[in-house]
């Protein structure tokens, strides 16, 4: 248990990692949909940086997820299911809604990144040095490109009401997906009914 020697917290962060490969590929695709209409050179350069960083995050978290699989946690299964859900989303949702979804989810990743970068207790809780390197690197890069999808959204005429309504719906799905994935990882680790440990982690 690499986070605070606690099963609840370790499986929570491992759940987030399981969602990153499919999620960040979706982010890349939603921004790429509008890359050709962006005229501002600074934003075009930022888009290139965004795509490169997200692609590397996908690669490194896939390796992290493979490690979790080897420890009996079904990260690969959760990842595969999210790929299917997001592939369906890309077929059904308009491109601007896909971009608004990315803006909403990037807001959450930016919150998590800032929390990790600012809170030394948070950093100290990541007791495995390699895991700390991965999460700190990811947090730094999320902080660097946190406004890119938003800037693209605004440039292509994305409105406030559309963005806020999307944020509300995405928030419900985000908590549902993370919550169900977390429960599955806890169950796989045989810690689902460790009431004391789970309450401590939740607190």
pLDDT along the chain (203 residues), means of 10: 95 96 96 94 94 93 94 95 94 96 95 95 94 94 93 94 96 96 97 95 92
Q: Which residues pair with 126 in a beta bridge?
A: 3
pLDDT, tens digit (0-9, with 9 covering 90-100), for 107-144: 999 999 999 999 999 999 999 999 999 999 999 999 99
| pLDDT for 70 | 95
For residues 62 and 187, what is the distance between their CA atoms, to the nearest angstrom?
A: 21
| pLDDT for 21 | 95
| pLDDT for 4 | 93
HSE toward the beta carbon, residue 100, CA cutoff 13 A: 21
Sign, CA torsion 86/88/90/93: negative
């Amino acid at each position: 248990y690499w986070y605070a020697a606690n099963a609840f917290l370790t499986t929570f962060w491992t759940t987030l990692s399981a969602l990153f490969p499919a999620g960040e590929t979706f982010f890349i695709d939603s921004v790429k949909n509008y890359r050709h209409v962006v005229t501002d050179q600074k934003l075009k350069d930022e888009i290139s940086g965004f795509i490169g960083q997200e692609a590397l995050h996908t690669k490194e978290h896939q390796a992290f997820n493979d490690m979790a699989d080897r420890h009996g946690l079904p990260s690969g299964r959760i990842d595969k299911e999210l790929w299917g859900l997001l592939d369906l989303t890309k077929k059904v949702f308009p491109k601007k809604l896909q971009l608004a979804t990315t803006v909403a989810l990037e807001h959450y990743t930016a919150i998590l990144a800032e929390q990790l970068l600012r809170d030394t207790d948070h950093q100290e809780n990541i007791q495995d040095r390699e895991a700390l390197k991965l999460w700190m690197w990811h947090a730094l890069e999320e902080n660097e490109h946190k406004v890119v999808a938003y800037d693209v959204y605004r440039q292509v005429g994305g409105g406030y009401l559309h963005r806020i309504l999307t944020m509300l719906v995405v928030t419900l799905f985000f908590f549902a997906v993370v919550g169900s994935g977390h429960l599955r990882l806890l169950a796989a680790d045989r810690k689902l009914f460790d009431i004391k440990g789970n309450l401590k982690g939740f607190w």
